[in-house]
Amino acid sequence: THLIRPENELYQYSAIHSLNILTPFGLRIKNTSPELIIAMEKERSAGNILREGKVLTERPIIAIHPFSLWRYKEWPIGNYIKLVNHIGSRYGVSIVITGSMEERGRVAEIVKKSKIDVYNLAGRTSIGELAGVLKKCSLLIGIDSAPAHIAAAVGIPTITIFGPSSPVSWAPRGKQHNIIYKDLPCVPCRQKGCSNSKVSRCLDELSTEEVIPVIEKKLDEIVSD
Give the predicted TM-score (pTM) of the model.
0.89
Determine, yes or no, domain membership for 101: yes
The model's pLDDT over 15-45, given as tens digits with 9 standing for 90+, comes to: 676 667 777 777 777 777 778 999 999 999 9
Give domain status of residue 51, yes or no. yes
Extended strands (E) in 80-187: 94-97, 118-120, 139-143, 158-161, 177-180
Q: How many domains does the chain have?
A: 1
**Tens digits of residue pLDDT in 81-135:** 999 999 999 999 999 999 999 999 999 999 999 999 999 999 999 999 999 999 9
Q: How far is CA 116 from CA 12, 62, 111, 217, in A?
A: 41, 13, 8, 21
Has residue 209 been placed in a domain? yes
**Which domain CATH number covers 132?**
3.40.50.2000
In a domain, 16, yes or no: no
DSSP one-letter code for 179: E
Find the domain containing 112 and state its range.
39-224
Distance CA 172, CA 167 (A): 8
